[in-house]
Amino acid sequence: MIKPSVIGLDLAKNIFHLAVLNRQCRDIKQKRLRRAQLAQHFAKLPPTHIAMEACGSSHYWARVLQAQGHQVELLPPQHVKAYLRGQKNDYNDAHAIAEASLHQQIRPVPIKTVEQQDEQMLHRMREQLIRERTALANQLRGLLLERGFVIRVGITSIRKRLPEILESDSPELTVVGRRLLARQYARLLALDEEVSWYAQQLRAQVQQDDVCQRLSELPGFGLIVSSAFKSWIGSGTQFKTGREASAALGLVPRQHSTGGKPRLGRITKRGNKTLRSQLIHGARAVVRCSEGKADPLSRWINRLKGTRGVNKATVALANKLCRVAWVLVSRGERYAPVTV
């Protein structure tokens, strides 16, 4: 689609800058707006094309401007940076956003609904609680090591040993030390309860969502991975093929080719780090259980394990699962494993 003009909007907390470019990428207008003026300013304009970087509050403003009848496009900031010329300032940033939109060479980020952001919020809060619990367990393990108590790695070991240590009559633990450790142990139990509550919410969400139900039929896709993948990919229509989806998630080899000589290296590790890690861990479980099985997928995995090793077979399976998951989401199909 040929765009007669594009408004590049540089988002911020309070002060917003916009640049209007024509088809020749020449400036038509520049303007500076305060937060309270932004919605009012665009409400007075006829329906137009607005481009923004996909950053903090961008989905909110995209929904607001779409409700006013405008066509809104969110662009990945790392790709917009290549269009920046001259010194970095707010007007130049807005100009770069508009120019990147006019060239139409960057795949836009789908605008998320409030419900999709709720799903992401649930996952992010759960991940933050897990990180906090892990940090607390590591701190307790290190403090107890200074008193001569060696505890194995893992949350379960802390839960089991710490009450025993608190009840012991060791001279290494004073009254103050026991009181401090008891409070941290209570905090650990509270974090366990919080993580369990979020897991229950995820389970209830997956049971009511048809897309998550279909994704959970994939090998290596549990409740958490299915919900996380669905909240990340949305409708999946932003990708033309499953390979584009796996490339956006960083599961394809890094390429550094020149002179007609292709050179492929390790995976690019682009996109959502947490989801990529979850997919690989799920694939690792499938690879570990594939030994001795005769179905086509297990034979493919075992052949890769023999020629490339376990780790490469695991990443290759994660790539394959991501492609299959894209088909299930974008085309509304169900997983049908090959049995011959």
Number of compact structural domains in the chain: 3
Do 73 and 93 have their domain in common? yes
As a whole number, mean pLDDT of residues 33-55 equals: 94
Q: How confident is residue 4, by pLDDT bands cut at 50, 70 and 90?
A: low
Residues 77 and 161 occupy one common structural domain? no
Q: Are residues 128 and 79 both part of a single domain?
A: no
- Same domain for 130 and 242? no
Based on the fold, state whether residues 120 and 231 are members of the same structural domain: no
Q: Average pLDDT in the 214-226 region?
A: 92
pLDDT value at position 256? 86
Same structural domain for residues 283 and 187?
Answer: no
Please check whether residue 64 lies inside any domain of the structure: yes
Compute the mean pLDDT over every residue in the chain, rounded to the nearest whole number. 92
Residue type for position 241: T
186 — pLDDT class (breaks 50, 70, 90):
very high
pLDDT at 10: 96
> Both 93 and 203 in a single domain?
no
3-state secondary structure of 266: strand
- 35 HSE (CA, 13 A, CB side): 7
CA–CA separation, 220 vs 103, rounded Å? Answer: 39
Q: Which residues contact 173 (CB under 8 A, 6 or more apart)?
A: 147, 165, 166, 181
* Confidence band for 155, pLDDT divided at 50, 70 and 90: very high
Which position has the higher pLDDT, 101 or 24? 101
* Structural domain range at position 22: 5-103
Contact 86, 69 (CB under 8 A): no
pTM for this entry: 0.85
pLDDT of the residue at 338: 75
2: pLDDT strictly greater than 90: no
40 domain-assigned: yes
Q: What is the pLDDT of residue 340?
A: 62
DSSP character at residue 109 = B
pLDDT tens for 239-291 read: 999 999 999 999 999 988 888 888 888 999 988 899 999 999 999 999 999 98
- What's the mean pLDDT in 121-132? 94
pLDDT band for position 86 (50/70/90)? confident
φ, ψ at 112 (rounded to 5°): -85, 145
Residue 32 β-bridge partners: 17
Domain boundary at 160, 188, 207, which? 207
According to the model, what pLDDT value does residue 17 have?
A: 96
Select from 70, 103, 136 the last residue of a domain.
103
Model pLDDT, residue 7: 94
- The kind and range of the H/E element at 72 are strand 71-75
Answer yes or no: is 312 within a domain. Answer: yes
**pLDDT mean over 135-141:** 96
Taking residues 167-189, report their average pLDDT: 94
Whether 224 and 320 share a structural domain:
yes
In the chain the first and final C-alpha atoms are separated, in Å, by 46
pLDDT digits (tens, 9 = 90+) for 284-331: 999 999 988 888 999 999 999 999 999 999 999 999 999 999 999 999
Q: Mind giving me the DSSP string for 7-59?
A: EEEE--SSEEEEEEEETTS-EEEEEEEEHHHHHHHHHTSPS-EEEEES-TTHH
Local confidence band at 51 (pLDDT 50, 70, 90 cut-offs): very high
339 within a domain of the structure (yes/no): no
Quick one: 324 and 238 in the same domain?
yes
User: What is the average pLDDT across 158-176?
Assistant: 92
Distances (CA, A) of 234 to 86, 304, 329, 330: 36, 31, 8, 9
From 161, 184, 207, give the residue that closes a domain. 207
